[in-house]
A and B are shown apart, each in its own frame.
Chain A
Amino acid sequence: MKGLLMQQDGAAGDLPLDRRRFLVSAAVVGGGMALGIGRGGAATGAGGKPVTGPWGPDAAQGSEFSPWIEIAPDDIVTIRVPQPEIGNGAMTQAAMTVTEELECDWAKVRVAFASIQRNHIEKGVYNVGFQGFFGGHSTEPDRMAHVLQLGASARERLKAAAAARWSVPVADISVKNSVLTHAGSGRTLRYGEVATEAARIVLPAEPARKPRSEWRLIGKSSPSKLNIPDIAHGRATYGIDVKLPGMVHAALMQSPVQGGKLKSHKPEAVLKMPGVRAVIVLDPAKTRGVPAGTKQAATFGFGDCQVQSAVAVIADHYWQARTALEALPVEWDAGSGAQWTDSAKIYAAASELRGKDGARTVKKAGDVATATGKRVVEGDYGTPYCENAMMEPLNATVLVTADGAEAWVPTQDQQQAYWTVIDETGLSPEKVKVHQTFVGGGFGRRTQADDVRMAVAIAKEFPGKPVKTIWTREETFRQGRYRTPITTQYKAVLDDATGLPQMIMGDVAYVGTRPSFMLPLGFSDQPYFNSGIIPNVRLTSANLPITILNGAWRAPCYNSHAFNLETFIDECAVAAGIDPLDYRLKLLAKWDKAWSDTLRVAAEKAGWGAKLPKGEGLGIAISCWPVANMHNNGSVIATVARVSVSQQGELRVRQVDVAFDCGSVANADAVRAQVEGGTMYGLNACLNEEMTVKDGAMVEGNFDEYPMMHMADAPVLNVHFEALSGHERMAIIGEAPTGPIQPAVGNAIFAATGKRLRRTPFRTQDLSWS
C-alpha cells in the first residue's frame, strides 16, 4: 500500500499537493470513501466537512463502530454501502436498515460507497449476502440481517458508554433520534458525545434485534432517495463528472465488427492536431493477467470482459480527442463477423437449431406425444437485439503507474471492476483501488466491466496521468453487450373438454450467449409447467454462437421469455374460447394464490371485461423474477395494458395497471418507482427497440435511429399494492415489471384489431385494420 502511494507521488509528479495529501490519508487508513450526501444542504462528508468527490476523504472522520458505520462528534452517521446507487434507491435502503436499529436521527444519516480494496484487505467485511457489491440487493435477507445487527450493536455500545459515563445501569437508558436518555434523572447525551468511547466497547454478547413487528421505519416509511438534492442541484458526481488534477481525456473507437482487428492506422495524421497527446492501439495481447498465486474473485468472470481491438486518441480536452479520432485514418479487418450480412440471416440460423439434436431439454413432464385434442395452437415468437441505452454514456477514469492503479467508475459491480483492473494491469490486489461513483443508468450494461477494461487498457499506455475515457453515444450503442435475441417455437394441444393445454412443447433458440447466461427464467420455471396443471411438457434450449457480444439487459432472458410465453398463452385462450384472464386463473389454480390475486387486482383496476369499440383493447400478462418455480418467491407481476389503434394503424398505449407481489415492501414509494421504471423500460422495448446488423456491425448509433418514448408517449401508469401477500420476503423489484408489459401490450393490440404480434418491436409492424 505504502509502496503504491510513494510510487504514485513519484510518477505523477505534477499532481498538486492536495492530491498527494489525499493519497497519504488513504495510506494511513486504507478505508472507505465517504460520500457526502446532504439533505438539502451542501454536500458534506462525515463530520460535516466538505468533500471533493464521490470517493471523498478516504479516512474515517469520526468513530468507526464497524466498517459499515461511523459516527462523528456532531452526530453525523456515515453508513458505508457496498452496492452502487443505480437509481433504485439501494443506497437509501441500506441507510434505512441501519437506522432502524441504531435509532439515529434520519436527518443526520449520510451514505458513502464502501471500498472494495478494503473489503479485500479485511477479508470480506462488506461482502455479505448474495453478490455483496452488485446493485439492487439491499433487501436481501442475509445482508439485511447483518446490517440490522450492526445497527443494534452500535446502539448498545452507545448505551453502554453512556451508562459508564453516568455510572447507572444500561437498562435505565433509552435511545431516540440520536439522543441517549437516563430514565431516572432525565439526563441526556448525544450519540456524537459518547461515540469515541462507545466505539471501543466490546459487548459480552451481541444484542437481540427488534422483532419485525416493532419496526418503525422499514415498511412504515418511504423517505425519498438521499441523493436527490445533489442530483437536482447538479452536484451528484457520476463517472463522467470525475475531475482529477492533471487529467487528460481519451476518445475510443473499437472494431466496428465485434471480434475484428485493427489492420492499419495513421497516427501521424492527427498527432499535431490541437491538444493531442497520443494515439494508442489496444490489443488483448497486452492484458497482463491476475498475478500468479492470486485467486481472482470477479463476480461474473472475464468471459464477456476482454480488450477489444481498438484505437484511442488522448488529448487535453475531450472535444479535441474526439475530433482527432474522427479524423484518424483507420482500416479494420472485420474477421468472421462479416458473414452476418443482416439480422434476418442471424435469426434464421438460430431458428434452425430449435428442437434439433444439439438442443438441450430443460423441462420434461409426461409424454407430449400422448396428447389428443382437436385444437392445436402453434406460433413462433421472438425479440431482437436491444441496447441498454443508459443515459450516461460508458466512461471510466483511470490512473496507472508502474506500481499501482486507481479507477473511478460508474460501475454496477465494484467487485467485477476491481478484479478487471487487477487482471488488465497485472498488479496485486493491494495495489489497486476502485472508486464507486454515481451511475447514470445501468440496466445490466455496467455489470461486466468491459468498459472499465478498455479504460484501463488505455490508461496503462499513458502512465502517470489520470485518463478519462468517454465513449460517444454512437460507440456506446454500437459496442454494446446486447439483450440476447430469443425466439421460441411453441405448440399446444388443447383438451377438448377444458380448453386447457394437454401438452405444451417449447423450443428456444438463444443467439450468441454463453451457456451460463442461457437463463430459463420466465420460461421453464413458470408455474404453468411446474404446478402439474399441464400433464405433458417438453421444453428445449439451443444456442447459436456468434461474434456479436451479449450481456445483461434488465432482467436478462426473462424479458424475452415473458413476451414469447405470455403471447402464446393468450393465443391458447383465444383458441379455447375462454377469456384471457379466466384462462390464466384456471392455469394457475394449482399454484400460489398470490399469482391469481395479482391477476385479479390488475384486471379489476383496469376495468377488465368492459365492452370496448373496435380499435380499443385490453391485454393481460403475468410473470415473476427471478425464480418462479419456488413457492412464495420473487416478485410476481401482473400487467394490464389498454391500447387504441387507429384504422391507419397508429398505436397509442393509453393506460397501464400493474399489480404485484414481492412479499412485503421496505420502502413503498421506492418500490412504486421501480415498478413504474421497469414497466416503462419494457414498454419502450416492445414498442420501439431493435438493434439491426449489417455486415457484422451494428447499424443504429443514436436516439434518432433507436427511438425512445418521450413524455407525450407515456401512458397513465397505475401501480396497485392490493395484491401484496404480506409474506416476509422483500424480493427485488426492478427487473420483474420489464417482462409482462410487453405481452400485455401485444395482447391488447390483438383485442383491439385482431392482429396477433409475435415479434417485437411493434413500431415496425403494420397495425392497420378495417
Chain B
Amino acid sequence: MAPVRFRVNGKPLSVDADPSTPLLWVLRDHLGMTGTKFGCGIAQCGACTVHLNGDAVRSCQVPLESIADASVTTIEALATNGGAHLQQLWAELNVPQCGYCQAGMLMAAADLLKKTPKPTDEDIDGAMTNICRCGTYPRVRAAIHRAAEKAA
C-alpha cells in the first residue's frame, strides 16, 4: 500500500504502515506524538480521543487506511484550536489526578463546547463518556460549566 497522506495539527504528513494500524498507534509510534493515550483499544474509555475533520473520535478505532486527506487535531494542538481556556481551567480547578485520561477528556469537552456552547448537565452526561478511574467527574463537569460561563 502507498503511504497515506493526511494532516495532523495543520501539518501535512505521510505515513507508510500497515493499513489496519489504528490512528492511535500511528500518532504514538510512527509520529512520536504521545499526548493521545492508549487506554482500552475498544472505544470504551475515550483516552485516545482526537478530532477528525472537526469531530471527536476514538482514534483506536480509526484505521490508517481510512484517513487519507483527513485533518486530525490532537491534544498537542488543542491550545491553538480553541482549547486554551479549557486547559487553563483544568489547572485552576485542579481537575486531573493521575491525568492519564485527561487528554481525552479535554478533547471531548472541547468538541462538546464547540457544538453546544451552553451545555446542560444532560448534555455533558451524553457527550462525556470517557472513563476516569481517579474520580474526577465532578471537577470535569464543573470545569465545562465554568468554560461555558466564561465564553458567554
Question: How does the 8 Å CB contact mask read for B72-105 relative to A, with 1 for contact and 0 for none?
Answer: 0011101100000011101111111111111100
Contact in complex: B126, A228 (CB < 8 Å)? no
Name the residue on A nearest B79 (C-beta). Answer: A233
Give chain A residues whose Cβ lies under 8 Å from the Cβ of B78.
233-234
Contact in complex: A232, B106 (CB < 8 Å)? yes
**Does A271 touch B at the CB level, under 8 Å?**
no
Identify which of residues 36-54 in chain B touch chain A, using a CB-to-CB cut-off of 8 Å. 36-42, 44-45, 47
Contact in complex: A676, B40 (CB < 8 Å)? no
**Does A702 touch B at the CB level, under 8 Å?**
yes
Contact partner, A710, options B75, B96, B129, B139, Cβ 8 Å: B129
CB distance from A243 to the nearest CB of B (A): 6
Contact in complex: B18, A274 (CB < 8 Å)? yes
CB distance from B94 to the nearest CB of A (A): 4
Contact in complex: B22, A473 (CB < 8 Å)? no
Contact in complex: A473, B100 (CB < 8 Å)? no
Name the residue on A nearest B74 (C-beta). Answer: A234
**Does A50 touch B at the CB level, under 8 Å?**
no
Name the residue on A nearest B96 (C-beta). Answer: A231
**Does B116 touch A at the CB level, under 8 Å?**
no
Contact in complex: B94, A225 (CB < 8 Å)? yes
**Does B136 touch A at the CB level, under 8 Å?**
yes
Q: How far is the CA of A682 from the CA of B109 in the complex (A)?
A: 26
Contact in complex: A224, B39 (CB < 8 Å)? no
Contact in complex: A669, B94 (CB < 8 Å)? yes
Contact in complex: B98, A390 (CB < 8 Å)? yes
CB distance from A230 to the nearest CB of B (A): 8
**Does B118 touch A at the CB level, under 8 Å?**
no
Give chain B residues whose Cβ lies under 8 Å from the Cβ of A439.
98
A-B pair number, CB within 8 angstroms: 184
Name the residue on A nearest B126 (C-beta). Answer: A712
**Does A318 touch B at the CB level, under 8 Å?**
yes
Contact in complex: A391, B45 (CB < 8 Å)? yes
Q: How far is the CA of A88 from the CA of B87 in the complex (A)?
A: 19
Interface size class of B (residues with CB under 8 A): 35 or more
**Does B34 touch A at the CB level, under 8 Å?**
yes
Q: How far is the CA of A507 from the CA of B135 in the complex (A)?
A: 33
Name the residue on B nearest A389 (C-beta). Answer: B133
Contact partner, B94, options A234, A236, A318, A673, Cβ 8 Å: A673
Give chain B residues whose Cβ lies under 8 Å from the Cβ of A438.
98-99
Interface of B is mostly: loop
Contact in complex: A702, B42 (CB < 8 Å)? yes
Give chain B residues whose Cβ lies under 8 Å from the Cβ of A673.
94, 97, 136, 139
CB distance from A233 to the nearest CB of B (A): 6
CB distance from A595 to the nearest CB of B (A): 24
Contact partner, B91, options A40, A241, A274, Cβ 8 Å: A40
Contacts A441-B134, A676-B138, A677-B97 hold; do A393 and B38 have CB atoms under 8 A apart?
Answer: yes
Q: How far is the CA of A358 from the CA of B137 in the complex (A)?
A: 45
Name the residue on A nearest B35 (C-beta). Answer: A234
Contact in complex: B135, A680 (CB < 8 Å)? yes
Contacts A241-B34, A443-B133, A711-B141 hold; do A231 and B99 have CB atoms under 8 A apart?
Answer: yes
Give chain A residues whose Cβ lies under 8 Å from the Cβ of B94.
222, 224-225, 228, 669-670, 673
Contact in complex: A703, B44 (CB < 8 Å)? yes
Contact in complex: B100, A317 (CB < 8 Å)? no
Name the residue on A nearest B125 (C-beta). Answer: A712
Give chain B residues whose Cβ lies under 8 Å from the Cβ of A733.
none
Closest 6 CB pairs of A and B: A234-B35, A680-B135, A440-B100, A87-B98, A87-B97, A234-B75
Residues of B within 8 A of A (CB): 17-18, 20-22, 25, 28-30, 32-42, 44-45, 47, 74-76, 78-79, 86-88, 90-103, 106, 124-126, 128-141
Known contacts A473-B41, A708-B131, A712-B126; 20 additional CB pairs below 8 A are A86-B98, A228-B96, A232-B87, A232-B91, A232-B102, A234-B33, A234-B34, A234-B36, A318-B25, A390-B98, A391-B47, A392-B39, A441-B133, A473-B40, A669-B94, A676-B138, A678-B135, A709-B137, A711-B141, A712-B129
A-B contact pairs, 13 of them (CB 8 A): A87-B134, A232-B102, A233-B87, A234-B75, A236-B99, A317-B25, A318-B29, A441-B100, A442-B98, A673-B97, A704-B42, A708-B133, A711-B140
